């Protein structure tokens, strides 16, 4: 085995067992011989050098291309074994050279003018939408769910997330709401149906736009919910409430100040905004090389220290910050397990290589939330310091009211169906 790779794995993998069969048939083991046990085969002799020099990119691409084959366990087990060990024995500096270079050049990679932002969105979202039906909940919520307790399934947790957001926004039927990065429309449509408000959703994905518009008409909400293909930098008007879920990761560090300036310009004087996004619980870093190349080009997960200065300069007031710690790890586990269960269907839509790429993306993302200090932040913002009640009780009361409404509505629906 290539000596630097052997030294790297011998340094990191101390708990559990990693067995590697090299391209020339040699068997090399790392760890203490105890479970968990993961075994892989490298089909290309060049992989040893490539993994040692750029592990964050090479492992994913080798698995995607079929040059790294899992013998025992799935790709999640391999990533989890290495990253859990790396929490206690970090990688040496020479193995992270690529990450350091990406950090130094991140402003170029994350330069997202409107034209480039649209291309980046199309890369991930403007594919056959049936792929997303294979692993997301019934309403295609493609962001962190909220788990009030461990008994929640994915659909329940996504609905709990919507209730949680609605309560923080303090929405009622008088309000006009802007949803920045509205996706397939599930959040906007649920806010409208639960509270009676009007919602304007904006997206840069043509596929998501078409789906959201069809769904609004199908649910009879076409008059209260409107979706448009427009960048947040081009939008005009004023809104009582602004929400953005899972979009801020695509803004790019160069554009944070302009993003929050736009929130301030679009938000009414006594309005409330909520930004829900993936963040780092530690210091700023670079986007994972595999994610940047294959999944979310132009994307970045910021530390809180990179976001708050931009908010401060915008003139907005931070009224609440909540940190959702392992909620996204649980969400991603649900997604990954559902995707694997529908592997053959996904393969028929996009092919085997896509399936391995997607599995690596979901597995690596879950592990990042478990072992690499990724969290989800919900930042509540206002323009005036007296806009909201003084204590957070109103959030819990709002969630309780919405839950009661949902239960009574479901009971009514059930009764009507039973009588038909």
Task: Evaluate whether 394 touches 388 at the Cβ level (below 8 Å).
Answer: yes
How is residue 22 written in tokens?
């090299």
Rounded to 5°, angle at Cα 183 from 181 and 186? 115
Torsion angle defined by CA atoms of residues 365, 370, 376 and 377, in that order, rounded to the nearest 10 degrees:
-140
β-strand partners of 214: none
Burial class of residue 283 (count of CB atoms within 10 Å of its CB; 0-12, 13-18, 19+)? exposed
Distance CA 119, CA 130 (A): 20
Hey, CA dihedral for 382, 383, 388, 392, is it positive or negative? Answer: positive
Contact 187/141 with Cβ under 8 angstroms?
Answer: yes
For the chain, how big is the Rg over CA atoms in Å?
Answer: 23
DSSP reduced 3-state for 129: coil
Encode burial over 363-391: b for 16+ CB neighbours within 10 A, e otherwise: bbbbbbbbbbbbbbbbbbbbbeeebbeee
**101 Cβ partners below 8 Å, 6+ apart?**
none
Q: Which of 144, 197, 355, 367 is catalytic?
A: 367
Q: What are the two backbone dihedrals, phi and then psi, of residue 179, each rounded to the nearest 5 degrees?
A: -110, 105
Give the closest residue to 242 by CA, choosing from 267, 279, 269. Answer: 267
Query: Is 355 one of the annotated active-site residues of the chain?
Result: no
Cis peptide before 36 (omega within 30 of 0): yes
CA dist list (Å): 12 to 9, 33, 52, 88, 277: 5, 14, 12, 8, 31
> Are 310 and 259 a contacting pair, CB within 8 Å?
yes
Catalytic residue numbers? 367
């Amino acid at each position: 085995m290539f000596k630097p790779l052997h030294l790297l794995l011998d340094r990191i993998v101390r708990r559990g067992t990693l067995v590697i069969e090299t391209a020339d048939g040699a068997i090399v083991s790392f760890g203490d011989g105890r479970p968990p046990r993961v075994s892989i085969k490298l089909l290309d002799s060049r992989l040893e050098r490539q993994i040692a020099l750029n592990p964050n990119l090479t492992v994913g691409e080798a698995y995607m291309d079929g040059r790294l084959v899992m013998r025992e366990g799935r790709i999640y087990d391999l990533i989890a074994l290495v990253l859990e060990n790396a929490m206690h024995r970090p990688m040496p500096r020479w193995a992270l050279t690529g990450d350091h270079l990406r950090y130094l050049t991140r402003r170029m990679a994350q330069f997202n003018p409107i034209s480039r932002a649209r291309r980046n969105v199309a890369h991930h979202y403007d594919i056959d939408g049936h792929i997303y039906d294979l692993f997301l909940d019934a309403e295609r919520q493609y962001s962190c769910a909220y788990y009030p307790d461990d008994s929640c399934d994915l659909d329940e947790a996504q609905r709990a997330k919507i209730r949680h957001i609605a309560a923080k926004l303090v929405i009622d039927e008088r309000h006009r709401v802007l949803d920045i990065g509205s996706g397939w429309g599930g959040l906007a449509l649920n806010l409208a149906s639960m509270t009676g408000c009007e919602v304007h959703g904006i997206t840069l994905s043509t596929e998501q736009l078409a789906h959201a518009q069809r769904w609004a008409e199908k649910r009879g909400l076409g008059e209260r919910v409107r979706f448009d293909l427009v960048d947040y930098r081009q939008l005009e008007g004023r809104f009582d409430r602004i929400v953005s879920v899972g979009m801020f990761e695509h803004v790019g560090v160069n554009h944070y100040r302009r993003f929050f300036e736009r929130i301030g310009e679009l938000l009414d004087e006594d309005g409330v905004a909520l930004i829900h996004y993936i963040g780092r619980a530690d210091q700023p870093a670079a986007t994972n090389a595999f994610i940047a190349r294959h999944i979310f080009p132009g994307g970045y997960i910021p530390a809180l220290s990179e976001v708050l200065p931009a908010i401060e300069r915008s003139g907005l007031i931070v009224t609440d910050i909540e940190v959702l710690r392992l909620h996204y790890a649980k969400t991603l586990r649900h997604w990954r397990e559902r995707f694997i269960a529908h592997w053959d269907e996904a393969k028929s839509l996009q092919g085997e290589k896509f399936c391995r790429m997607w599995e690596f993306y979901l597995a690596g993302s879950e592990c990042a939330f478990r072992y690499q200090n990724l969290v989800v932040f919900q930042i509540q913002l206002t323009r005036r310091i007296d806009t909201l009640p003084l204590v957070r009780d109103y959030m819990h009361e709002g969630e309780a009211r919405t839950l009661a409404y949902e239960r009574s509505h479901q009971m009514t629906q059930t009764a009507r169906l039973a009588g038909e």
